Amino acid sequence: MIAMSCLSVLVAPNAVAQPAPELAQVITAVRSSSPCPALNYNPTVEHAAEIVNQSTYAYLNHTAENVPADEPHPTAILKDLGISSGRALSLQGAAHDEAGAIKGVLLQGRNAIPDCSYTDFGVSLLHEEQTNYILAVVVLVGR
């Protein structure tokens, strides 16, 4: 459904997906400063983060056929990918550099990342070459 409608944006031109170990490490570090167990990195949740990020990119680039899948709770996307959880949150940041995009995610997630009810996460980082923006998304999933 939503994920299927987002498949067209997964091949959006000029969106360069990057491995995002720095973003994952920052999320892990922030979580480790809380009394909660570590978040588990989940490739399926990463896929959801990529769908959210690609749809936002396509919308900003005026090539989207649908509104972006950027609502704060991506439960429908996760359900389409086989994860049934009533607790999910998408955090987003954008800037002309990676540090600024990550800062945006951290500001949005300042209360959620240390929330012990979240157990899994995935990240996505895109570089939009025309505007030189870095788009960062972190999806958190819990019980």
Domain segments of the chain as ranges? 13-142
Asked if residue 112 has pLDDT above 70, the reply is yes
Helices (H) and strands (E) in the chain, counts: 5, 5
Tokens at residue 99, please?
A: 């540090």
The domain over range 13-142 is classified in CATH as 2.130.10.10? no
The CA-based diameter of the chain, rounded to the nearest angstrom, is: 43
Phi, psi of 123 (to 5 degrees): -130, 160
Model confidence pLDDT, tens digit, residues 31-87? 999 999 999 999 999 999 999 998 877 767 666 566 556 567 788 899 999 999 889
Residue 41 bridge partners (DSSP): 121
∠98-45-75 over CA atoms, to 5°?
A: 110
